[in-house]
Every structure is written in C-alpha cells, then in structure tokens.
Amino acid sequence: MGLFDKFKKNKSGVDWNSAYKANPHFYSKPDGNPFCAFALTEDTETILPKAPHYAVDGRELSEYKLILVSTTKDGIIGECDYFDAIKKLNSIELDSDNDYILVKGLSLSELEEISG
C-alpha cells in the first residue's frame, strides 16, 4: 500500500479521510529524558501508528505515551503507556493496515477505561 493509498477507503469500506491523524509531540521529563506523546480525543475517529519509532538529538526514544483528551471535561483526563493502550484499542478499532490503526470516536467512559 502506497503512502497516499493509506487514506482511501480500505477494504472494510471505512473512510480514513475523515479521521484525524495523530501527530507525534515530543517532551522532556524532569530528568531531561525525552518522550513522545500522541493525543486521543473524545468522539474523534483517530489514526494512530501501530509502532512509532522516533529519535531526538540522535537518541532513540524508549518512552511513548497516549494522552487522553476529553471534550466533555475540556482537558486532559489521563495518560498511559502507548503500547499498552494500542493493545486495548486493537479490540475496538474500526480498521487497520500494516502501519496504522483507525480508532472509532470513543466516549468519555471508554477513554477513562483505557487510562485505567
């Protein structure tokens, strides 16, 4: 599948074009070690990478987080290990390909379950 094919309708008929593609954001912990975070927002279909792999200043990152954002509560409601969250999200995904999963828009209670 080519780069631009990724956002066409997949075999399942799900339209990836209307989903938000989560972008990596890079931060530093108090000890100075960098980490990468992706946001998952309530009621928003989201495309997430299955296995992100980034480096900052030549150092490969070992920590990835999923930040859970609520529109109902108007802010961040939690964070969790990215790879643990992806395992949970695999059971409720709308679609996937080799590199990405498309997650349905989750309710506030579903987001809270992921963080717990």
pLDDT in tens, 15-58: 899 999 999 999 999 998 899 999 999 999 999 999 999 998 88
Distances from the Cα of 86 to the Cα of 4, 5, 38, 50, angstroms: 23, 22, 11, 7
* Token code pair at residue 65: 């987080």
Contact predicate 50/21, CB 8 Å: no
Q: What letters, b where the CB count within 10 A reaches 16 and e where it falls short, cover 64-88?
A: bbbbbbbeeeeeebeebebeebbee
Q: Where are the alpha helices (DSSP H) in 27-93?
A: 82-90
3-class DSSP assignment, residue 39? strand
For the cut 60, the answer to whether the pLDDT of residue 1 exceeds it is no
Contact predicate 16/6, CB 8 Å: yes
pLDDT in tens, 59-88: 899 999 999 999 999 999 999 999 999 999
Residue 108, pLDDT score: 95
For the cut 90, the answer to whether the pLDDT of residue 12 exceeds it is no
Residue 17, pLDDT score: 92
